[in-house]
Copies of this chain bind each other. A is one copy, B any other.
């Protein structure tokens, strides 16, 4: 099927994206996402720095990590922003919509 030619606006499955944009330490959306280059796992900058001060490994795969290995992963910050702004717009639409008639 020629998906690439699909003319429809395409909402993402929110649950998947939600999962992919969350930090495995705090389970909230990434806040200043950093990548561990040796294993490709991502966390909030603060979350992983706190963790590393206690144990110098990736909390997911246990590869050895030091704080100086961490690098910003800004594409994830941009995706979190884009996700939250779409979310906010949709909620505002819902809040602005007239209330459904009360049941008799």
**Could you list which residues of chain A lie within 8 angstroms of chain B, going by C-beta atoms?**
1, 3, 6, 8-14, 16-17, 20, 35, 37-38, 40, 42, 71-76, 78-79, 82-92, 94-95
Contact = CB atoms under 8 A, between A and B. Distances in A.
Secondary structure dominating the interface of A: helix
Q: How many copies does the complex hold?
A: 2
Most buried by B among A10, A13, A14, A89: A10
A75 B22 CA distance: 11
A40 B32 CA distance: 12
Given A10-B87, A40-B73, 5 more contacts: A8-B90, A10-B83, A11-B14, A40-B74, A40-B75
B40 A71 contact: yes
